Structure 1
Amino acid sequence: MTEVSSLTGRLLVATPALADPNFDRAVVLLLDHDEEGSLGVVLNRPTPVGVADILESWGELAGEPGVVFQGGPVSLDSALGLAVIPGDEGPLGWRRVHGAIGLVDLETPPELLARALGSLRIFAGYAGWGPGQLEEELREGAWYVVESEPGDVSSPRPESLWRAVLRRQRSELAMVATYPDDPSLN
Structure 2
Amino acid sequence: MTVPAALGGQLLVARPRLDDPNFHRAVVLLLDHGDEGAFGVVLNRPVPVEVDVVLPEWQDAVTPPSVLFQGGPVGLDGAIGVVTAPPGAVLPPTVDRLVGPFSLVDLDSDPADLAGLVTGIRVFAGHSGWGAGQLEGEIEEGSWFVVPAEASDAVTDDPTTLWRRVLRRQGGDLAIVSTFAEDARLN
Matched with 2:103 is 102
The 3 A distance-change label for structure 1 pair 146 and 185 is closer
The letter of the residue matching 1:110 is P
Task: Report SS of the residue matched to 1:23.
Answer: coil
Contact kept, 8 Å, 2:8 with 2:99, in 1: the verdict is yes
Deviations 1:97-146 (A, max 9, x none): 22222111112211211231211100000000000000000111000000
Matched with 1:42 is 42
Matched with 1:26 is 26
The 3 A distance-change label for structure 1 pair 171 and 87 is same
Matched with 1:14 is 14
1:6 CA drift (Å): 0.6
Task: Report SS of the residue matched to 1:61.
Answer: coil
Cα distance in 1, alignment partners of residues 76 and 178 from structure 2: 29
Deviations 1:38-92 (A, max 9, x none): 0000000000000111101111001110000000000001011111111403321
Task: Report SS of the residue matched to 1:28.
Answer: strand
Matched with 1:56 is 56
The 3 A distance-change label for structure 1 pair 185 and 170 is closer
Runs of 4+ in 1 over 6 A off after TM superposition: none
Matched with 2:156 is 155
The letter of the residue matching 1:179 is F
Contact kept, 8 Å, 1:4 with 1:34, in 2: the verdict is no
Contact kept, 8 Å, 1:11 with 1:30, in 2: the verdict is yes
Q: Given the two structures, how large is their TM-score scaled by the length of structure 2? A: 0.94
Q: Report how many aligned residue pairs link the two structures.
A: 184
Cα distance in 2, alignment partners of residues 129 and 135 from structure 1: 9
Cα distance in 1, alignment partners of residues 138 and 185 from structure 2: 25
Cα distance in 1, alignment partners of residues 10 and 39 from structure 2: 12
Cα distance in 1, alignment partners of residues 157 and 71 from structure 2: 16
Q: Given the two structures, how large is their TM-score scaled by the length of structure 1? A: 0.94
Task: Report SS of the residue matched to 1:60.
Answer: coil
Cα distance in 1, alignment partners of residues 183 and 5 from structure 2: 35
Within 5 Å, which residues of 2 pair with 1:109-120? 109-120=110-121
The letter of the residue matching 1:156 is D
Matched with 1:172 is 173
Matched with 2:83 is 83
Cα distance in 2, alignment partners of residues 110 and 62 from structure 1: 9
- Where do 5+ consecutive residues of structure 2 fail to align? none
